[in-house]
Structure 1
Amino acid sequence: MTDIPRGTAVPKAEPAASNTYFIAWRWHFYAGLYVIPFLTMLALTGLMMLWVSWSSGIGSERLAVTPSGDLLPASTLQATAEAAVPGATAFHYLEPLAADRVAIVAVAADGVKTGVALDPYSGEVLRSFDWQAGWYDWLSVIHGTLMLGVTGDRMIEIAASLGLIMIATGIYLHWPRGQSGWRGALVPRLSARGRSWWKSLHGVLGFWVSALLVVFLVSGLSWSGVWGEKFVQAWNTFPAEKYAPPPSEAVAVAAGEATHDMAMHEMPMSDDVHAKMNHGAEKEVPWTLEQAPMPASGSLAGTAAIDGAPDLDSVVGFARALGFDGRFQVALPDGPEGVWTVSHDSASNDGPGAGSDRTLHLDRYTGNVLADIRYADYSPYAKAMAWGVAFHEGDLGVWNLVLNTLFCLSVVFLTVSGLVMWWKRRPDRAGRLAAPPRSPERSLWKGAAVLVVILSALFPLAGAAIVAAWLLDLTLLRLMPGLKRAVS
Structure 2
Amino acid sequence: MALNLNTTPLGDTQNPDGFAQKFYFAAWRWHFYAGIFVIPFLIILAVTGLMMMFITQFDGRDGEKIAVPRGEVALPISEQAYLATQSAPGTIVEWIGPKSDTLATVFRIKTEDGQKMVALDPYTGAVTETWDRRAGWYDLADNIHSTLLIGDTGDRLLEIAAGLSLVLVFTGLYLWWPRGNAMVAFVPNLRAQGRAFWKSLHAVTGFWMSGLLVVFLISGLAWAGVWGGMIVQPWSSFPAEKWDNVPLSDDVHASMNHGAQNDVPWALEQTPMPASGSNSGAIGVPQGQPVNIDTVAALGVSLGMDGRFRVAYPNGKGGVWTLNRDSMSSDSDEPTTDRTVHVDQYTGKILADVHYADYSVMGKAMALGIPFHMGLMGTWNFVLNTLFCLSVIFICVSGIVMWVKRRPSRAGRLAAPPLPADLPFWKSAVLVGLFTSMAFPLVGLTLLVVLAFDFLILGNIPAMKRALS
Fold match (TM-score > 0.5):
yes
Offset, 1:391: 0.7
* 2:60 counterpart (45, 50, 57): 57
Letter in 2 for 1:305: G
- Verify: 1:303 aligned to 2:282, yes or no: yes
Offset, 1:480: 5.1
User: Which deviations, in whole Å up to 9, do the C-alpha atoms of 1:438-482 show, x marking residues without a partner?
Assistant: 112421222222221221121111110112223444565567543
User: Which deviations, in whole Å up to 9, do the C-alpha atoms of 1:219-254 show, x marking residues without a partner?
Assistant: 00011111111121111100001135xxxxxxxxxx
Offset, 1:280: 2.5
Q: Does the aligned pair in 2 maintain the 1:309–1:364 contact within 8 Å?
A: no
Q: 1:139 is matched with which residue?
A: 141
- Verify: 1:287 aligned to 2:290, yes or no: no
Q: Does the aligned pair in 2 maintain the 1:59–1:129 contact within 8 Å?
A: no
Cα 1:474–1:445 change in 2 (3 A) is: closer
| Structure 1 residue matching 2:128: 3-state secondary structure | strand
Within 5 A, what are the aligned runs for 1:428-439? Answer: 428-439=409-420
Q: Which whole-Å CA distance do the structure 1 matches of 2:133 and 2:207 have between them?
A: 41
TM-score, length-normalised on structure 1?
A: 0.91
* 1:267 counterpart (240, 243, 246): 246
Q: Name the count of aligned residue pairs.
A: 461
Q: Which whole-Å CA distance do the structure 2 matches of 1:167 and 1:304 have between them?
A: 52
Q: 2:167 is matched with which residue?
A: 165
* 1:128 counterpart (112, 127, 130): 130
| Structure 2 residue matching 1:414: 3-state secondary structure | helix
Cα 1:10–1:107 change in 2 (3 A) is: same
Offset, 1:26: 0.4
Letter in 2 for 1:224: A
- Verify: 1:25 aligned to 2:25, yes or no: no
| Structure 2 residue matching 1:389: 3-state secondary structure | helix
Q: Does the aligned pair in 1 maintain the 2:96–2:309 contact within 8 Å?
A: yes
Offset, 1:274: 0.6
- Verify: 1:482 aligned to 2:439, yes or no: no
Runs (4+) of structure 1 moved beyond 4 Å? Answer: 473-480
Cα 1:474–1:18 change in 2 (3 A) is: closer
Q: 1:417 is matched with which residue?
A: 398
Letter in 2 for 1:58: R
Q: Does the aligned pair in 1 maintain the 2:430–2:448 contact within 8 Å?
A: no
Offset, 1:10: 4.6
TM-score, length-normalised on structure 2?
A: 0.95
Q: Does the aligned pair in 1 maintain the 2:195–2:405 contact within 8 Å?
A: yes
For the aligned residues, what is the CA RMSD?
1.8
Cα 1:35–1:126 change in 2 (3 A) is: same
Q: 1:467 is matched with which residue?
A: 448
Letter in 2 for 1:60: G
Q: 1:73 is matched with which residue?
A: 76
Letter in 1 for 2:377: L
Q: Does the aligned pair in 1 maintain the 2:74–2:122 contact within 8 Å?
A: yes
Q: 1:315 is matched with which residue?
A: 296
Cα 1:173–1:474 change in 2 (3 A) is: closer
Letter in 2 for 1:270: S
- Verify: 1:389 aligned to 2:373, yes or no: no
Q: Which whole-Å CA distance do the structure 2 matches of 1:89 and 1:431 have between them?
A: 62
* 2:87 counterpart (84, 89, 98): 84
User: Which deviations, in whole Å up to 9, do the C-alpha atoms of 1:116-144 show, x marking residues without a partner?
Assistant: 01011111100101112211111111100
Q: Which whole-Å CA distance do the structure 2 matches of 1:34 and 1:353 have between them?
A: 36
- Verify: 1:99 aligned to 2:80, yes or no: no
> Which stretch of the first structure deviates more once superposed, 291-300 or 274-283?
274-283
Q: Does the aligned pair in 1 maintain the 2:55–2:61 contact within 8 Å?
A: no
Q: 1:225 is matched with which residue?
A: 225
Q: Does the aligned pair in 2 maintain the 1:132–1:280 contact within 8 Å?
A: no
Q: Does the aligned pair in 2 maintain the 1:61–1:117 contact within 8 Å?
A: no
